[in-house]
Amino acid sequence: MTTTLKATILAVMLAGLAGVALATPKPAPSPAAPRTAEIGKKAPAFSLTDIEGTQHALKDHTGKIVVIEWFNAGCPYSGKASPKSVHASGRAAALRKQLRAIDPTVVYLLIDSTARRAEKSDIITADKAARKQWKIDAPILIDFDGAVGHAYKAQTTPHMFVIDSDGVLRYQGAFDNDKPNTQGDAATNHVLAAVKKIKAGENPSPSKTRAWGCGVKYGT
């Protein structure tokens, strides 16, 4: 086969492929939530099972403010016994109480995307122990494949997200401005501030802060 013939066949094939590509109708834009989280846009949809086996979908909470906290039972800023832990120090419980005082319908969910060097059953066991130890009165959802964590770009435990009653992401970032847990009542809880702003019909400011804590221990 001559070089010219080869080039002609290749050109015809490429043209054919291009034609197919051009002729193939593009799928209509989906009205569903975007694949990744962005302030001011619909929060990514998810459906996860909690450590007790109950399914939780974001869409189940339409019409309510949803607060999500990324969680790891083995992180000293999250579920591990440590003076800096938001759970062991009682700060997370205090936040949930304050949120309910502002709006009793606020939904608080914890999501655990931990998977590195651990079995899923080990994660669930550790989370159950932490939930009991710290009296966490909110469900802990298991995201073992990390899909939801990656969609939300969750980086730390804790990493907080606030979604308004229309399903729009309004805040993401740090739990508060007191990483070392030394400020006591003088600390500013960014989640509480964001929910207050949303309830007042205003935009949270800041709407994003640098999250702090252990890195989320994704499997991949």
Partner 1 sequence: MLSTAMAILLALCAPEGGDAPPPRPRVQFEAASSVSSIAAGVPFDVVCTLTVPPKWHIYWKDPGSSGMATRVRVIAAKDFKVGPVRFPCPVTLLDPAGAVNALDGRVHLAVSITPPGNLESGREALIQVDADWLVCREACFLGGGDAAVRIPITATPGPETEAAAWIRGLPRPIEQRSGTNVVVVPGPSLRISGPRDPAGEPNFVQEHRPGVALGTPTISTAGDTFVMNIPMAYDSRESLGQSPRIQGLVRFGSGRGTSEGTSAWEIDLPFDSNGTQERKPAP
The residue among 43 and 115 lying less far from partner 1, judged by its C-beta, is: 115
Using CB under 8 A, pick the residue from 98, 125, 177, 181 that binds partner 1. Answer: 177
Using CB under 8 A, pick the residue from 16, 19, 90, 215 that binds partner 1. Answer: 215
Half-sphere exposure of 16 toward its Cβ, with a 13 Å CA cutoff? 6
Task: Decide: helix, strand or coil at residue 143.
Answer: coil
- Min dist CB 112 to partner 1, Å, is 13
Residues 6+ apart with CB under 8 A from 152: 36, 37, 43, 44, 68, 70, 159, 161, 172
The footprint of partner 1 on residues 143-162 (CB under 8 A) is 146, 150, 154-156
Q: Is residue 207 part of the contact set for partner 1 (CB under 8 A)?
A: yes
Residues 6+ apart with CB under 8 A from 123: 73, 112, 114, 115, 142, 144
Using CB under 8 A, pick the residue from 52, 119, 137, 202 that binds partner 1. Answer: 119
- Report d(CA 32, CA 45) in Å as an integer: 8
Q: Which stretch binds partner 1 (CB under 8 A): 24-32, 47-55, 128-136, 207-215?
A: 207-215
The residue among 66 and 75 lying less far from partner 1, judged by its C-beta, is: 75
The footprint of partner 1 on residues 59-98 (CB under 8 A) is 74-77, 82, 84
What is the Cα gyration radius of the chain? 22
* Residue 108 tokens, joined: 């608080």
- Report d(CA 166, CA 163) in Å as an integer: 8
- Min dist CB 45 to partner 1, Å, is 21
- Report d(CA 132, CA 84) in Å as an integer: 19
Using CB under 8 A, pick the residue from 54, 105, 116, 137 that binds partner 1. Answer: 116
Cα distances from 172 to residues 42, 92, 163, in angstroms, run 13, 16, 9
The residue among 80 and 96 lying less far from partner 1, judged by its C-beta, is: 80
- Min dist CB 12 to partner 1, Å, is 40
* Residue 180 tokens, joined: 């070392």
- Min dist CB 193 to partner 1, Å, is 11
Element (H, E) at 55: strand 55-57
Q: Is residue 35 part of the contact set for partner 1 (CB under 8 A)?
A: no
Q: Which residues in this chain contact partner 1 in the complex, by CB under 8 A?
A: 74-77, 82, 84, 115-119, 146, 150, 154-156, 177, 179-180, 205-220
